[in-house]
Amino acid sequence: MRGRVSVEVAKRVLSGLGYRVVEESIPIVVKGEEVGEADLIVEDEEGRRYAVEVKAGKLSVSGVRQAKVNAKILGLEPMVVARGYADEAARALAEELGVRVVCLADLIAISETDLYLVVKAAVEEVLCEFLLSLRALKEEEVMRTLEAIAESDSFSDAASKLGISVGELGRILGSLRRDNVLPPISGYKSLRAFAAALVTLKRLLEVRKIP
């Protein structure tokens, strides 16, 4: 739970600094094997993308090395969000390896209770978005799109199931967001989870109607 809270806080802090969250929970794969995961991918105002490691505590030397290696595998710039450095060795290594470090201690003073409230607010926001999306349950074409997303591992897989191009799927999703049927979700993994929740709810409601 603490790690999830840290990621949510990091997203808000980075957004406030002008970064755009592009994706979350990115698997790091080497020769077909998953060897780790980056917490976030963010993009700055100039279009540079960073693989972000979020630390619940302070950044150590090993954390600096991990961030550098993970970013290199992903072909991105390295960044760490942490509550400062564990020691001067970690600071020196980060500077030497070009790892950008965002120190939460320099930006916010927040207790665990405050962190809980931040996440609570985020959860409430998600629930409101979910409630707004419930009207999609009555739209057959919308549900067909959501079912394809829920059952696919990527945009291309979902588009293939629907018999349309990835570009066309993107246009459909854009229209659904403008109509507040879908919230502004970042990353396919989150979109798939949201779609799966709506599809599951629809199926449960259909089961309840069976005499």
pLDDT digits (tens, 9 = 90+) for 123-136: 766 676 666 667 66
Q: For 90-103, what is each residue's pLDDT tens digit?
A: 999 999 999 999 99
The structure tokens listed for 120 are 């609570």
- In the 8-state DSSP scheme, what is residue 59? B
Q: Is the pLDDT of residue 41 over 70?
A: yes
State the pLDDT at residue 178. Answer: 77
Cβ neighbors of 150 (< 8 A, separation 6 or more) are 192, 195, 196, 199
- Please give the model's pTM, rounded to 2 decimal places: 0.54
Give CATH for domain 2-113: 3.40.1350.10
* pLDDT per residue as tens digits for the range 173-200: 878 877 777 776 656 787 888 888 888 8
Proportion of the chain above pLDDT 90, given as a percent: 36
Q: Which residue is associated with the tokens 């949510």?
A: 8
Please choose, from the candidates 144, 153, 67, the residue with its C-alpha nearest in 3D space to the C-alpha of residue 102: 67
42 pLDDT exceeds 80? yes
* Residue 16: predicted pLDDT: 86
Phi, psi of 83 (to 5 degrees): -90, 50
Which part of the chain has CATH 3.40.1350.10? 2-113
Helix (H) or strand (E) holding 3, with range, is: helix 2-16
Q: Helix (H, G, I), strand (E, B), or coil: what is residue 29?
A: strand
